[in-house]
Structure 1
Amino acid sequence: MPGLYFEEFEEGQLIRHAITRTVTEADNTFFSTMTMNPAALHIDHDYAARETEFGKPLVNSLLTLGMMIGISVHETTHMTTIANLGMTDVVFPKPVFHGDTLRIETKVMGKRRSKSRPKAGIVTFEHKAYNQHGEEVASCTRQAFMHAKTEGE
């Protein structure tokens, strides 16, 4: 099933995404090494236990960001997006650890027709990720360039 078209989004619309995901140690290690991030904070249990206030490895924040947006895709932009235009206001108010389960909510903050393409528009989303305790662990604002079903004025 495709995501929503430009016209189907309404400002203030809140989508509580059906998919949830538990982050594993393998996810974090693979992502960190694949993206060439050797930070011991993410991949070294001994270092994390001795040298950090958390006592265990943190999930790489870019993995958290990617999962937050990725989980939202099926119910928002799957097969209806032209491109992401940017992500701003990215924050991580609480850490994510191996074994945490993420659930995602997306709020439509605004939308406008494209000035250059008659069958497209820009939708601004606010994504929020929560762990299994209901604590907000990440948020960002994303602008997506979306296909429209009809031509605008």
Structure 2
Amino acid sequence: MAGRYYEGFTQGEVIRHDVRRTVTETDNVLFSTLTMNTAAIHLDHDYSSKTEFGKPLVNSVFTLGLVVGLSITDTTLGTTVGNLGWEDVRFPKPVFVGDTIHAETEVVTLRESKSRPTQGIVTFLHRGLNQRDEVVCECRRLALMMRRPE
């Protein structure tokens, strides 16, 4: 099993994920149109050239999904019951086509489930960074995790 059980996490540990991903124009256009976000800032090069950024921004919801996705193999693959929510989602720097994103995850809290004795709740702080190590995304994710089978 690639992911960790609840007991495999330590509060305060930081996991640096090895997998990186360069964002493509296809990623941005496909994600934006599949999710019906037709904002010109994501899809229209002419419009975007006249903004402060000078080019299209990558859809922030794609960025969030990518950052969380980069963390899955090292944290929750096969051991999560489900996500309970995301909190404090921030995008301090924009992401552009051609940026290469890598991620790290801090284990913020661990709490045994009161109603589900075979499970526990882990709060992760996921950080996405670009190729210049600038933080482009941060979020807290609450995951309901399996406990190690006895």
What is the alpha-carbon distance in structure 1 between the residues aligned to residue 72 and residue 95 of structure 2?
A: 21
Question: Residue 113 in 1 paired to residue 112 in 2?
Answer: yes
What SS does structure 2 have at the residue aligned with 1:103?
strand
What is the alpha-carbon distance in structure 2 between the residues aligned to residue 56 and residue 27 of structure 1?
A: 15
What do residues 97-148 of structure 1 show as CA deviations (whole Å, max 9, x unaligned)?
A: 0000001000000101100111100000000010001111110000000000
TM-score (norm 1): 0.96
Structure 1 portions without partners, runs of 5+: none
What is the alpha-carbon distance in structure 1 between the residues aligned to residue 18 and residue 131 of structure 2?
A: 14
What is the alpha-carbon distance in structure 1 between the residues aligned to residue 21 and residue 136 of structure 2?
A: 14
TM-score (norm 2): 0.98
What SS does structure 1 have at the residue aligned with 2:47?
helix
Question: Residue 93 in 1 paired to residue 88 in 2?
Answer: no
How far off its partner does 1:22 sit? 0.3
How far off its partner does 1:150 sit? 4.6
What is the alpha-carbon distance in structure 1 between the residues aligned to residue 92 and residue 48 of structure 2?
A: 19
What SS does structure 2 have at the residue aligned with 1:32?
helix
Q: Which residue of 1 aligns with 2:68?
A: 69
Structure 2 portions without partners, runs of 5+: none
What is the alpha-carbon distance in structure 1 between the residues aligned to residue 148 and residue 44 of structure 2?
A: 49
RMSD, matched Cα = 0.9
What is the alpha-carbon distance in structure 1 between the residues aligned to residue 27 and residue 98 of structure 2?
A: 10
Aligned residues: 150
What is the alpha-carbon distance in structure 2 between the residues aligned to residue 43 and residue 29 of structure 1?
A: 6
What SS does structure 2 have at the residue aligned with 1:59?
coil
Question: Residue 103 in 1 paired to residue 102 in 2?
Answer: yes
